[in-house]
């Protein structure tokens, strides 16, 4: 819970290669973390699955700020009738699996984002969750089970300007330091996806954010970071002392999430290639950036075969580092990865 609170938001991704992004993110920040711990402990934590700048998990107190949420696309009366019937069904059951809704209502099939067919009930449940009518109670085999939203969260009063500022601060705290272009995108996403009911206030929210956050221009780029932090202080520098641990990071880890910042910091372009045609991939299906001594020096693709972890590293320089400490650091990370996966 402390890790989720400090991060403010943990992005989810359904791909398991060989673990999901949320687990790959938390393993570096929670002692003795194992793949699946978040899903197993979720029902006992004061956190919620929801859409923020993208889909993931965040503290319940933050999730409350986004609701009651009005979606950008209004449902017709027939869709709302379906939603009210499903809500009554969920309230009578307490917690439901999507297949129970399918069996009870037979909503049929519809086209999904990827061009395939999916259950209409699943899309309805997603829409009800986004609008704050339902919450994710837990998961079974990765499938979301739904329950009625907690009443005190649905009824949270909110001043639009103050609430937008608070949500923007959560995003800034996680992803800072931020180039000006990334800050503008974050404000847009918060105002259009996390709280679309206040999207008309995005332009003024960005102006307020730029006026109140600490900032500096370095090499022609304007940077922003949270109030209360001072990157030039001795304490800040002491806290950032580099260790000898090599870390394989998730593609959505906050260290690498902002691709513009990544290129400015480390001088090369990292791209997430899972949805790139195989023949066009440069670094692999699910390349994990390799962080060592404050530099992202390469990447590795990880897979489990016959109960063994297989790592395929790649390097920006074209070859492994000629440093006596590097190979032991990579083997130690391999061992930590194996424990994390329960191998």
Q: How far apart are CA 178 and CA 215, in angstroms?
A: 9
At 56, the pLDDT band (50, 70, 90 cuts) reads very high
One domain, residues 276 and 328: yes
Cα 133 off chain centre by: 22
Average pLDDT over residues 59-71: 92
One domain, residues 257 and 298: yes
At 239, the pLDDT band (50, 70, 90 cuts) reads low
Choice between 73 and 302, residue whose per-residue pLDDT is larger: 302
Count, residues in the chain = 343
Q: How far apart are CA 285 and CA 276, in angstroms?
A: 8
The pLDDT assigned to 298 comes to 97
Answer yes or no: are the C-beta atoms of 206 and 184 closer than 8 Å. Answer: yes
Interior/surface letters 159-175, b for 16+ CB within 10 angstroms, e for the rest: eeeebbbebbbbbbbbb
Q: Does 141 map to a domain? A: yes
pTM over cut 0.85: yes
Q: Does 56 map to a domain? A: no
- Domain end call among 154, 174, 199: 154
Q: Does 41 map to a domain? A: no
Q: Does 17 map to a domain? A: no
Answer yes or no: are the C-beta atoms of 231 and 225 closer than 8 Å. Answer: yes
Q: How far apart are CA 103 and CA 218, in angstroms?
A: 59
The pLDDT assigned to 156 comes to 58
* Cβ-based neighbours of 324, under 8 Å, separated by 6 or more: none
Min mean pLDDT across 79-88, 119-128, 231-240, 258-267 is at 231-240
Q: How far apart are CA 187 and CA 178, in angstroms?
A: 12
One domain, residues 289 and 307: yes
3-state DSSP assignment of residue 12: coil
Domain span at residue 316 reads 242-341
One domain, residues 281 and 316: yes
Answer yes or no: are the C-beta atoms of 297 and 290 closer than 8 Å. Answer: yes
Q: Does 51 map to a domain? A: no
- Domain end call among 154, 182, 204: 154
The pLDDT assigned to 159 comes to 86
Q: Is pLDDT of 110 > 70? A: no
For residue 84, give the CATH number of its domain: 1.10.10
Q: Is pLDDT of 319 > 70? A: yes
The pLDDT assigned to 113 comes to 45
Q: Into how many domains does the chain fold? A: 3
Q: Does 263 map to a domain? A: yes
Average pLDDT over residues 182-191: 95
Q: What is the largest CA-CA distance in the chain?
A: 68
The pLDDT assigned to 237 comes to 62
- Domain end call among 107, 127, 154: 154
The pLDDT assigned to 115 comes to 47
Which pair of tokens denotes residue 177? 């330091």
Q: How far apart are CA 283 and CA 71, in angstroms?
A: 37
One domain, residues 288 and 264: yes
- Reported as a single tens digit per residue, the pLDDT across 111-164 is 544 444 457 788 899 999 999 999 999 999 889 999 999 875 545 556 889 999
Q: Is pLDDT of 181 > 90? A: yes
Query: How much is the mean pLDDT over the chain?
Result: 91
Choice between 205 and 118, residue whose per-residue pLDDT is larger: 205
Answer yes or no: are the C-beta atoms of 285 and 17 closer than 8 Å. Answer: yes
Choice between 297 and 240, residue whose per-residue pLDDT is larger: 297
One domain, residues 118 and 183: no
Min mean pLDDT across 86-90, 139-143, 151-155, 247-251 is at 151-155
């Amino acid at each position: 819970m402390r890790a989720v609170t400090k991060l403010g938001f943990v992005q989810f991704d359904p791909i398991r290669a060989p673990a999901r992004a949320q687990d790959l993110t938390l393993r570096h920040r929670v002692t003795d973390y194992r793949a699946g711990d978040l899903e197993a402990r979720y029902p006992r934590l004061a956190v919620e699955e929801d859409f923020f700048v993208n889909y993931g998990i965040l503290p319940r107190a933050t999730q409350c700020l986004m609701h009651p949420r009005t979606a950008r696309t209004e449902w017709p009366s027939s869709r709302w009738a379906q939603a009210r019937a499903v809500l009554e069904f969920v309230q009578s059951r307490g917690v439901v699996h999507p297949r129970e809704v399918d069996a009870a209502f037979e909503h049929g099939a519809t086209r999904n984002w990827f061009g395939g067919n999916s259950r209409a009930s699943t899309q309805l449940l997603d829409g009800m969750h986004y609008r704050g009518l339902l919450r994710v109670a837990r998961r079974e085999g990765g499938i979301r089970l739904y329950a009625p939203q907690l009443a005190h969260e649905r009824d949270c009063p909110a001043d639009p300007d103050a609430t937008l500022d608070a949500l923007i601060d959560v995003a800034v705290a996680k992803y800072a330091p931020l180039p000006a272009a990334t800050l503008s995108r974050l404000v847009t996403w918060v105002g259009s996806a996390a709280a679309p009911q206040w999207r008309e206030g995005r332009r003024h929210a960005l102006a307020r954010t730029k006026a109140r956050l600490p900032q500096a221009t370095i090499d022609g780029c304007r940077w922003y970071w949270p109030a209360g932090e001072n990157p030039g202080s001795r304490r800040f520098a002491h806290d950032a002392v580099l260790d000898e641990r090599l870390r394989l990071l998730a593609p959505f880890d906050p260290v690498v999430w902002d691709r513009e910042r990544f290129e400015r910091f480390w001088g090369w372009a990292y791209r997430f290639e899972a949805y790139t045609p195989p023949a066009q991939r440069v670094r692999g299906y699910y390349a994990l950036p390799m962080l060592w001594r404050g530099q992202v020096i390469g990447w590795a693709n990880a897979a489990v075969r016959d109960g063994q972890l297989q790592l395929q590293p790649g390097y920006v320089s074209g070859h492994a580092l000629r440093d006596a400490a590097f190979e032991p650091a990579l083997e130690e990370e391999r061992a930590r990865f194996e424990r994390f996966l329960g191998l």
